[in-house]
Amino acid sequence: MPIVNMLDAKTNLSKLVDAVETGAEEEIIIARNGKPAAKLVQLDAQPKRKIRLGLAVGKYPPLDYESFQALDAEIEKMFLGENEDK
């Protein structure tokens, strides 16, 4: 991530844009009086981290409360086995 001062950015703008477009540089910081003022990035650049929500949508059937509670007995049988003494 190079930092370029304003005067150099003005004289070499096409080179800086080419560097970002080709991927030679991910981003270029343009500074004014030594302080970062702007960031030059590719227009269609994707965010660095993409949050993916809803990965399980449509993979499982809907489950209402009564059906969910009915699974407790089935799971208990799996762990404890069939108990004929009840």
Instruction: Give per-residue pLDDT as tens, 17-65.
Output: 999 999 899 999 999 999 999 999 988 756 667 777 778 888 887 878 8
Distance CA 16, CA 19 (A): 5
Q: Give pLDDT, residue 18.
A: 94
Domain range summary for the chain, segments of one domain joined by +? 3-41
Q: Give pLDDT, residue 71.
A: 82
Q: Give pLDDT, residue 19.
A: 94
Report the Cα–Cα distance between both ends of the chain, in Å, rounded: 71
CA within 13 Å, CB half, 6: 8
Tally the residues of the chain. Answer: 86
Indicate the pTM of the whole model.
0.51
Please tell me which residue, 3 or 54, carries the higher pLDDT value: 3
